[in-house]
Amino acid sequence: MPDHNEIYLNEAERYHELIAKQPNLRPAIEAIRPVIGLDVVDLGAGSGRLTAVLAEEAGSVIALDAQEAMLQVTAERLRHAGHTNWRTSVADHRSLPLENQSADLIVSGWSICYLGSDELPEWEQNIRQVMGEIKRVLRPGGTVILFETMGTGFETPNPPAFLKRYYAALEKDYGFSHRWMRTDYMFDSPEQAEQLTRFFFGDELADRAAEQGLVHLPECAGIWWLQT
């Protein structure tokens, strides 16, 4: 697999080119919690996949990410759209630079999983720290919504083995509700599908996309949510 940390550090624009081929996730968020007027925090905001669509009606949005390069893409998108209700900050999920009870809604897309892989000896401690920070920052009655991978290239959920314990802990240990949805990629051409798939997901999936001439690449995502 490609080195995602290297991608986030040095190829933020190309990463955004990839995720721009996925559907708008605001309807999935608003089915759980309408965002109008809320103070929102986006953990692992990346290039603004969630921040950009939530800023349209949120009272405020704070985009946090470990990589300044990703936040620069987010900031440019928000400026271009004319939004003024936002700020960005480099941050670790385990130690958020935010005041207690300062957010109504916390969202995170495909990000906490990097701390929750059971290939990391400290994964359980990581998740306890993240959940502690989320609880600290949310106001009473606040909501947290997490999106994580349930398998790219699959039409039904097929989560990575190294994330199954993290996913189980979200429900068993932290009380999250869960469902899944499709977050398919719709590329402009088979060539683009092959190139961007190889860039982020590696040779096995890219070779399959090339062999089948795919433009529509299926993907499943899990949604976990909790109200405090």
Q: Residue 196: inside a domain, yes or no? A: no
Provide the percentage of residues in the chain whose pLDDT is more than 70.
Answer: 100
Cα separation of 20 and 221, whole Å?
16
Q: What is the CATH number of the domain that holds 165?
A: 3.40.50.150
Within 10 Å of residue 115's Cβ, how many Cβ atoms? 19
> What is the number of structural domains in the chain?
1
Q: Residue 13: inside a domain, yes or no? A: yes
* Per-residue confidence (pLDDT) for residue 82, from 0 to 100: 98
- pLDDT tens-digit series, residues 25-35: 999 999 999 99
Show the DSSP H helices in 47-122 as ranges: 51-54, 68-80, 113-116
Q: Which domain holds residue 128?
A: 4-183+218-227
- pLDDT tens-digit series, residues 47-105: 999 999 999 999 999 999 999 999 999 999 999 999 999 999 999 999 999 999 999 99
What 3-state class would DSSP assign to 198?
A: helix
* Per-residue confidence (pLDDT) for residue 60, from 0 to 100: 98
Q: Residue 209: inside a domain, yes or no? A: no
* Per-residue confidence (pLDDT) for residue 158, from 0 to 100: 98
Q: Residue 110: inside a domain, yes or no? A: yes
Cα separation of 228 and 222, whole Å?
20
Question: Is the dihedral angle over the CA atoms 28, 74, 80, 16 positive or is it negative?
Answer: negative
Question: How confident is the model over 189-213, as a mean pLDDT?
Answer: 97
Question: How confident is the model over 176-184, as a mean pLDDT?
Answer: 98
**pLDDT band of 1, cuts 50, 70, 90:** confident
Q: Residue 191: inside a domain, yes or no? A: no
Non-local (6+) Cβ contacts of 221 within 8 A are 110, 147, 148, 149, 150, 180, 181, 182, 183
- pLDDT tens-digit series, residues 116-139: 999 999 999 999 999 999 999 999
**pLDDT band of 46, cuts 50, 70, 90:** very high
Token pair in block for residue 156:
């039904």
Q: Residue 192: inside a domain, yes or no? A: no
Cα separation of 126 and 132, whole Å?
10
* Per-residue confidence (pLDDT) for residue 93, from 0 to 100: 98
